[in-house]
Amino acid sequence: MLSRALPRATTRQLSRPVNSSVSRPTFYTAERARRWYATEAEEKDLVIIGGGVAGYVAAIKAGQAGLSVSCIEKRGSLGGTCLNVGCIPSKSLLNNSHLYHQILHDTKNRGIEVGDVKLNLTQMMKAKETSVSGLTKGIEFLFKKNNVEYIKGTGAFADEHTVKVNLTEGGETSVRGKNILIATGSEATPFPGLTIDEEKVITSTGAIALKEVPKKMTVIGGGIIGLEMASVWSRLGSEVTVVEYLGQIGGPGMDAEIAKMSQKILTKQGIKFKLNTKVTSGDAGSDGVKISTEAAKGGKEETLDADVVLVAIGRRPYTAGLGIENIGIETDDKGRLVIDQEFRTKVPHIRVIGDCTFGPMLAHKAEEEAVAAIEFITKNYGHVNYNAIPSVMYTHPEVAWVGQNEQELKAQGIKYNVGSFPFSANSRAKTNLDTEGLVKFLADKETDRILGIHIVGPNAGEMIAEGVLALEYGASCEDVARTSHAHPTLAEAFKEAAMATYGKAIHY
């Protein structure tokens, strides 16, 4: 029955109307703002603390809706962790390191002969920065286009309606808001006993800015961030070892079969793995970093030597200096700001979205919440389907999934069918000489409704969008299988996997 499958999209209904009849504001430059702030500002319809993905999307959406908006960001550039030191720069390095690695190792069979191939790490980093700077300036343009006031500084609550701002260029001001949206994001979780210096002991921030390729790198944590950065530096010549406490890579959300296959592929690429292993201590010295490990359940110790250690054990909400204690906002045991189904804190006009509250710490999840939160303010309702939030690991091949995995379905006692199709049987993958991986469907045994889709293979990050749409609309595997897919495309593997789940694939 459908009730045993994934529930339909969660729709949040607002219990109290919010006045959204407003005039559009004037966009203020930093210089004009400092002069104008000599007296207290007029009350804005919305004040946003944080200009990352959650904050800037909310600001643009609110501006489009006609609200007067101020967005406070201390970094000095918009886009937050994702755009400045996360998703965007890491994908630049992943793409360009893959091209470098492919030219070195995968051109002869393609009929391409090359001469001396050299790595210019400085230029690779410049290409990354060009991408980042262009996108951050693009967001500033969108702020101006939608009449959003951009305040560069650090914000903290003075009271329930007032945010005090220490301006980046000196001085301070305060801004009042009828509604306030907290979108302060997250930061890398530190490892006890290791001091982060972003040179020898690094987080993802340091991993996208190394000045030379380390001979040896140890990555603590085999989740998505750790594996992406392991891929970059392994391709560029580093000897990389990944230490993971769990028995699989990719984190608990990744399907176990997909994780096992991904690990096998990455091992062939030269990355070493130590699973079911915990790091007990670390010591950074002038000659590198020593990491002590032992079996997760206890056992013989082992010491790993590395030039650089990447700490990638997850992220935690960032709320330091926000002054939430001044207004009584609650946090849970993980430091997440507590909200209700309408993103509201205990103070009804103060909402929270993105990494600093519940849910997966993903940029696209933050975007969805940003849109929904503004719809609550302006339309009295909002919508986010947390059952249809995709995850992507941008290694090569890519890994992507949406919905539930097999271990979750088994734990819930849900009866299901499994169907898969390998890229080795896909015509486009074969012509591209890129055939590792498969597409896997999980569907309710009685209704054929799709419960989860898992992909490891070329273009998985793009292909999963079709899976998200299918899950959002409650599609069955037969619905997908009877939808025409262009030939020859990698997406035909998606169609064939759906066919294999409710019937039989044609080409395998």
Residues 326 and 178 in one domain: yes
Task: Look up the CATH number of the domain holding residue 278.
Answer: 3.50.50.60
- pLDDT band of residue 35 (cuts 50, 70, 90) is very low
Regarding whether 320 and 306 lie in a shared domain, the answer is: no
Q: Is residue 193 part of a domain?
A: no
Q: Is residue 172 part of a domain?
A: yes
Q: Is residue 36 part of a domain?
A: no
Predicted local distance difference test score (pLDDT) of residue 86: 97
Claim to verify: residue 102 and residue 184 sit in the same structural domain? yes
Coil, helix or strand at residue 377: helix
CB under 8 A, 24+ apart: contacts of 284-292? 284/194, 284/195, 284/197, 284/200, 284/201, 284/309, 288/200, 288/216, 289/194, 289/200, 289/201, 289/218, 291/218, 291/220, 291/243
Query: Does 441 have pLDDT greater than 90?
Result: yes
Residue-level pLDDT at 444: 98
Domain boundary among the residues 287, 313, 339 is at: 313
Decide if 349 is catalytic.
Answer: no
pLDDT in tens, 143-189: 999 999 999 999 999 999 999 999 999 999 999 999 999 999 999 99
Q: Is the pLDDT of residue 30 over 60?
A: no
Which candidate in 98, 349, 396, 487 is catalytic? Answer: 487
Within-domain flag for 21: no
Q: What distance in Å separates the CA atoms of residue 102 and residue 113, rounded to the nearest whole number?
A: 12
Here the tokens at position 372 are: 């929904």
294 and 212 assigned to the same domain: yes
Rounded mean pLDDT, 182-209: 96
Per-residue pLDDT band for 40 (boundaries 50, 70, 90) equals low
| 22 domain-assigned | no
**∠18-21-25 over CA atoms, to 5°?**
115
In a domain, 346, yes or no: yes
pLDDT of residue 418: 98
Which one, of 129, 309, 126, lies nearest residue 226 by Cα?
A: 309
Report residue 298's pLDDT band, with 50, 70 and 90 as the boundaries: confident
Taking residues 115-136, report their average pLDDT: 97
pLDDT value of residue 416: 98
3-12, 174-183, 210-219, 329-338: the lowest-pLDDT one: 3-12
Q: 53 with 179, same domain?
A: yes
Q: What is the pLDDT of residue 174?
A: 97
Which amino acids are annotated as binding site, given as ranges? Answer: 91, 155, 184-186, 221-228, 244, 314, 355, 361-364
Same domain, 347 and 484: no
Which residues share a beta bridge with 256?
none
Give me the pLDDT at residue 9, please: 38
Report the pLDDT value the prediction gives residue 300, as an integer from 0 to 100.
82
pLDDT at residue 70 above 80?
yes
Classify residue 390: in a domain, yes or no: no
Q: Residue 41's pLDDT is what?
A: 57
Whose tokens are 């080409």? That residue is: 507
Are residues 155 and 88 located together in one domain of the fold?
yes
**Same domain assignment for residues 373 and 305:** no
pTM, two decimal places: 0.91
**Mean pLDDT, rounded, of the chain:** 92
Instruction: Residue 447: give the domain boundaries.
Output: 397-502
- Least Cα distance to 373 among 98, 91, 83, 57 occurs for 57
Q: State the CATH number of the domain containing residue 419.
A: 3.30.390.30
Question: CA-to-CA distance for 183 and 163, rounded, in angstroms?
Answer: 14
Distant-in-sequence, close-in-space partners of 390: CB < 8 Å, separation ≥ 6: 364, 400, 401, 402, 464, 465, 467, 468
Do 296 and 435 lie in a common domain? no
Total domains in the chain come to: 3
Percent of the chain with pLDDT over 70: 92
**11 in a domain, yes or no?**
no
* Last residue within a domain, chosen from 284, 313, 342: 313
Q: For residue 486, what are its two tokens?
A: 């262009």
**Same domain (yes/no): 247, 296:** yes
- Say if residue 436 is in the same domain as residue 469: yes
Same domain, yes or no: 305 and 364: no
> What integer is the mean pLDDT of 213-242?
98
User: Residue 89: its pLDDT value, please?
Assistant: 98
In the chain, what is the greatest distance between 2 CA atoms, to the nearest angstrom? 72
Strand ranges in 345-449 using DSSP code E only, listed in sequence order? 350-352, 381-383, 391-393, 398-403, 416-422, 438-444
Q: Which of 44, 128, 142 is nearest to 89 (CA)?
A: 128
Chosen domain end from 350, 379, 408: 379
Annotated binding site for FAD: 91, 155, 184-186, 355, 361-364
